[in-house]
Structures are given as structure tokens and as C-alpha cells.
Amino acid sequence: MNQTTKSCAIIGAGISGIAAAIRMRNKGYAVTVFEANAFPGGKLSTESNKGYRFDMGPSVFTMPEYVDELFVLSGKNPREHFNYIPLDPVYRYFFEDGTTVDAFHGKEKYAEKISEKLKDSKEDILKYLDKTEEMYELTAEVFLHNSLHKFKNFMTKRVMKGLLNFGKIGAFDTMNGANKKAFKDPKLVQILNRYSTYNGSSPYLAPATLNVISHLEIEKGAFYPIGGMYSITESLVKLAKDIGVTFSFSNPVREILTEGLPNGQSGKKIKGVRTDEGNLNFDVVISNMDVYNSYLKLLPSAKKPEKTLSQPKSSSGIIFYWGIKHNFSQLGLHNIFFSENYEEEFDTIFSKKTIYVDPTIYVNITSKYTATDAPADCENWFTFINVPNNSGQDWDELVNEARETMIKKLNRLLKIDIRPMIECEMILDPRVVEARTSSAFGAIYGNASNNKFAAFMRHPNFSKEIKGLYFCGGSVHPGPSIPLCLLSAKITTGLVS
């Protein structure tokens, strides 16, 4: 670890902020992470109630190598500190006509098992999955591993190859359009359209490029962290502390402080941050706070990138965390109960800005793998529906409506009344998302990706106006999800000298 006399403030102990802290410490900086909450993790946090433990946010874990990389960078064996197991099957899908479909890991097995249940052939499914793999190989270097806002990054052979093959990445079609051309079974189209929700977008508006997400989950695999998703946060916070990162909890940053550049240069540079404890000097500031609120709340006098900040925001969610006094053998870790009219559901969310009458329901049950997450013969249900972000709706009414709708739908598809089984309940809605994580309008995923240029419209990982100011996390490049947030931290810290 190279030691310097420089210091770095990280604003927010979300997963990207923690990763950025580890990387900056390994660059030799003295690092302090300021977190408004009394706990780390941001969306990747945990709560318990009446003997049930719940992961409060992200529930799907892919590309674990980006977590491992932080341990290796710090000179530690990741297997001594953090472990996970592959999932197979990954998902179980439920349809109104009684059809259930399991999605397995690996192209061959996935295609074989899907073709046994649905109308499309194994050969057509494999052809599609090969195409998504090609799209991933063409786009990964361009979109995932480099800043889109540094000209030099476009001069490498791999990036040039991706740019020269732009027509092959599906940018000029929608996810749904591409998937309908590939398959005749509407159930398979719906299964593949679902991946747009991983960044809070609509498959009827988002570019087909986002079909690469299915490649990451189907071919590269999904995993279960031993101890649940919060173990990612716990292990990385411990790693950060072990290598000398300081955490300051319940200590929100109130303002990012700047000053003029020396020697008559035009522009500004970082001076430090202001908290309730006073003004603190730092050479570098990295904000893991939602970039919209970073400008609104922490940089009141700075020039704002209005075009970027005014982009339409992603969807949000309503989650009921239910302690269920029953064991459902027909359910796995990840379960999806689809709506009958997917297009109408997304139109309701993004155009009508309300909750659909027949929402698709996601149920995550970590007690299937970590028995101590629920009492004996019980299950901890993370029960989620996609909803619009907060634009002033009556959320109390919508939450009550959603609860009744979700219970009726689950009762119908599971053929049992779950209402008397609900032993405890916690609720998250867009208002809570914003209050807990500073996500503007409660939009879980930052800007939506509902146009072909959305990837280019995310805020860069650095400030063009203030020297020494950087940004990381799901609201900036390359986007939301655990692996992308970890890559965001890598890109961001790579820009710091």
C-alpha cells in the first residue's frame, strides 16, 4: 500500500462508497467515510423483526469476482473472509395458467429446461443466448470498465471493436421488440423482458442492448452469499476497517466545500466537507450519494448539469417484509409471479405513474439457504412489486391497495390463504427509499434507461467543474446493481491520481 499525505472523504457508505474507500486506501490515501445512517450498506442493509432477518434491498448477486477483487487488492484471501455458492436453478417463474418454469444456470441447461416447458426450441434459445453473449463482449469494455467521458478510453482496440460493431448491440430496437422477434412463446418473451427491471426501466422502451443482463445471470451465473446479501456489506466494511479506513456513522455531510484554484487559474477545487462537527479539509471528495441530491443538497452554488439531472428517473418499489408462519416447498430463493398483461403493467408504472391492478410479484426467501433467518418451519418473505417513483402520489393509499392485491394474487397462485400466516410485517415504499438512501424521488436505480442513449446520459464519475470531486454508485456511470456499483467505484478511483 503506497502511503501519501493526501486525504479522501467518501460521502455515503453504500456498497460503491465502501468499495471506493477500500480502493482509495490502497492508493495510500487517508480515507474517512461519512454516513448519515447509523449503519452501513445504503440499500444493501438488513433489519430483523420477531426472529426474522431480512435483507432490505438488492437480492440478486452476480459477478462475485468484483467483491473478491477488493480482498485480493488488499492482500487478503477472499475465501477467508467472504463466501458464496452458485444457484441452480436461479429463478422459479409462476404464470396465471398454472405453468411454472425453472431457470437454470448455463446456456445448455437453461435452453434444455425452458424448451421442455415452453413452445420455443432449444436451438432457438441457444441462438439467442449466443447473441446476448456477443453483445456483452462488444459492450463490456465500452460501458462497464471505462469512463465514457474520457476521450482516451475510446482509443483502445477492444473499445474500438465495440464501437465499430454498434449495430450489433441492439441499440435501435427495444428489448421487447428483439425478444418477440426471437421467440414465439409470450411466456419466454416475458421472462426475458423482465431483465429491464434490473435497472428500473420498461422493456417496451429500453434498448435491446439491455438483453446482455440475461447473459450475466444465465451464463455467468447467480450466487447466494453465505449469510445473506448483507454479508457483502459486513465483509467489505470489516476489510475497509482492517486496512485503515475510518467510518463516521450518523454524521451526514451537509455541504461539499470548494475554493478557487491557485495561481490565478479559473475554476474551483475541493477544499473538504462540512458536517455537524464543523468544516473538515480533504484533498479528494467522492460522493456515493445519488448524484441528483449531491448537487441539490451538497453543492448549492455549483453549476449543475441540468440535462443529465433532468433525465427521467427509474421505477421504485413497494416491499412487504413478511414473517410467514409456514414452509412452502414449491418456492425457492428467487420467485416471480407474473402479471397477465406485462405491457399494461409497465405503461401504468411509467405513463400513468401509479400501481398496476395485477402487478408482477417477486418473492425472495433467504431462509431457504440460511435457516436462522426465520424461526423453525417459517420463512422470511421479501415481497416486492415495481411501482413509479415518487411524484406526489398518495402512498398510504397505494401501499394499502398493493397489500390487498398482492395477498389475493399470491393466494390464487399458491392455492392457499397466506393472510393468517403473516406473523410480522415491515414496509418500504418510495418515500422510505428516499429517506433512507437519499435516492432522488425514491427512484431505486437513478435515471431510467428508457431510450437508446440512456447509457451515455448518466453523469460521469468525475466533476468537470470542480477539481478533486468524483462520483460513484448506481446513479452515475455505469449504472445500478451490485456489480455495476463495484465497477463504478473502480472506474472512479482509477481517475484519481
Q: Say if residues 58 and 41 touch (Cβ distance below 8 Å).
A: no
- What pLDDT, on the 0 to 100 scale, is given for residue 5? 84
Q: Are residues 412 and 291 located together in one domain of the fold?
A: no
Cell representation of residue 72: 485480493
pTM for the model? 0.94
Q: Are residues 398 and 480 located together in one domain of the fold?
A: no
- What pLDDT, on the 0 to 100 scale, is given for residue 156? 55
Give 316's strand partners: 387
The model's pLDDT over 30-68, given as tens digits with 9 standing for 90+, comes to: 999 999 999 999 999 999 999 999 999 999 999 999 999
The model's pLDDT over 131-170, given as tens digits with 9 standing for 90+, comes to: 999 989 888 776 776 765 554 544 455 555 555 455 566 6
The residues of the chain scoring below 50 in pLDDT are 151, 153-155, 164
Order of strands, edge to edge, in the sheet holding 61-62?
61-62, 222-225, 84-86
- Domain range for 42 is 7-84+228-311+445-494
Residue 200 lies in a domain: yes
The Cα-based distances of 474 to 110, 440, 485, 488 in angstroms read: 29, 12, 6, 8
Q: Say if residues 170 and 139 touch (Cβ distance below 8 Å).
A: no
| Number of CB atoms found within 10 A of residue 334's CB | 22
Rounded to whole angstroms, the Cα distance separating 54 from 39 reads: 15
The number of folded domains in the chain is 3
Residue 2 lies in a domain: no
Rounded to whole angstroms, the Cα distance separating 240 from 25 reads: 8
**Scanning the structure block, which residue is given the C-alpha cell 428508457?**
450
Rounded to whole angstroms, the Cα distance separating 186 from 204 reads: 14
Q: Say if residues 175 and 206 touch (Cβ distance below 8 Å).
A: yes
Q: Are residues 112 and 191 located together in one domain of the fold?
A: yes
Task: Give the CA angle between residues 27, 32, 37 to the nearest 5°.
Answer: 135
The Cα-based distances of 462 to 10, 249, 457, 469 in angstroms read: 13, 25, 14, 6
Q: Are residues 95 and 146 located together in one domain of the fold?
A: yes
What backbone phi and psi angles, to 5 degrees, belong to 120? Answer: -90, 150
Q: Are residues 92 and 215 located together in one domain of the fold?
A: yes
Rounded to whole angstroms, the Cα distance separating 141 from 160 reads: 9
- What pLDDT, on the 0 to 100 scale, is given for residue 165? 53
Residue 253 sits in a domain whose CATH number is 3.50.50.60
- What pLDDT, on the 0 to 100 scale, is given for residue 143? 74
The domain boundary, picked from 220, 238, 257, lies at 220
Q: Decide: helix, strand or coil at residue 476.
A: strand
The model's pLDDT over 430-440, given as tens digits with 9 standing for 90+, comes to: 999 999 999 99
**Scanning the structure block, which residue is given the C-alpha cell 439457504?**
369
The domain boundary, picked from 199, 220, 241, lies at 220
The identity of residue 131, as a single letter, is K
Compute the chain's Rg from CA coordinates: 22
What backbone phi and psi angles, to 5 degrees, belong to 124? Answer: -70, -35
